Amino acid sequence: MNTKKIWIISLIFGLMVAGLVYITTFAKDNGSTPASGTVNQNQPDTKPDVKTAEELEKENQAEKDKALAREFVNPIVDISKGKRAISIKIINPEQGVSGYITPNSIVDVIAYETMKDDATKKEYRSAVIVLENVKVLTSGKSSDTKETALLYETVTLEVTPEEGVVLSLASRDKDAFYLMLRNTEDTETGKAGLKQTREVIKEEGAEE
């Protein structure tokens, strides 16, 4: 009888120990799962960076700006606030003061034209001062070397918006421009609009 009781007690004790071991093991497994998840959250993200549309647009614009950026061989003077830059064509060296025009030169602009009187068949040539006391920003083209710039065919002037309109119209209506170089300390104005007209006298036998 005592042996049977001992056996029963041992069986019950063994079941209790087995249950305790099972519960302990199960609890450890469940506890380790969130811990590993926490570690994974702290690990660095190895996924490749995905750029936003705005970032891509900025990169594309930067590439475009870089492609358009140029280094001017023939530099231009900075344009004053409120002013504009406009270029006029100079047909021959004499019209551009024989190549003596340089950045920061001060000039007066003369426009000339040739007219013909259909009634008398006479030809007249006029010259008028279009602008006075105008600063030269540069002569020649942006790509001109120092030597080539001395043989300039264009001159870029600093003008007000109103002067730019006058000059652009004159470039269409007149035959060409002459420049008169001024002393930089001479700022007197008041001659704009001064005009001279004369008949063109052709030599006998000259072609019409």
The pLDDT value recorded for residue 59 is 85
The C-alpha atoms of residue 126 and residue 114 are separated, in whole angstroms, by 6
For the cut 80, the answer to whether the pLDDT of residue 201 exceeds it is yes
For the cut 70, the answer to whether the pLDDT of residue 97 exceeds it is yes
Mean pLDDT of 67-79: 77
pLDDT digits (tens, 9 = 90+) for 108-144: 999 998 888 888 888 999 999 999 999 999 998 888 8
The pLDDT value recorded for residue 53 is 83
Q: Give kind and range of the element (H or E) at residue 56.
A: helix 53-68
Percent of the chain scoring above 90 in pLDDT: 37
pLDDT tier at 24, thresholds 50, 70, 90? confident
Q: Give the SS3 label for residue 124.
A: strand
The C-alpha atoms of residue 177 and residue 27 are separated, in whole angstroms, by 99
pLDDT tier at 50, thresholds 50, 70, 90? confident
Percent of the chain scoring above 70 in pLDDT: 78
Structure tokens at 113: 């034209």
Q: Which residues of 43-74 are buried (b: 16+ CB within 10 A; e: fewer)?
A: eeeeeeeeeeeeeeeeeeeeeeeeeeeeeeeb
Q: Which residues pair with 138 in a beta bridge?
A: 156
pLDDT digits (tens, 9 = 90+) for 170-199: 988 888 899 999 998 999 999 999 999 998
For the cut 70, the answer to whether the pLDDT of residue 205 exceeds it is no
Mean pLDDT of 76-98: 91
The pLDDT value recorded for residue 57 is 86
For the cut 80, the answer to whether the pLDDT of residue 156 exceeds it is yes
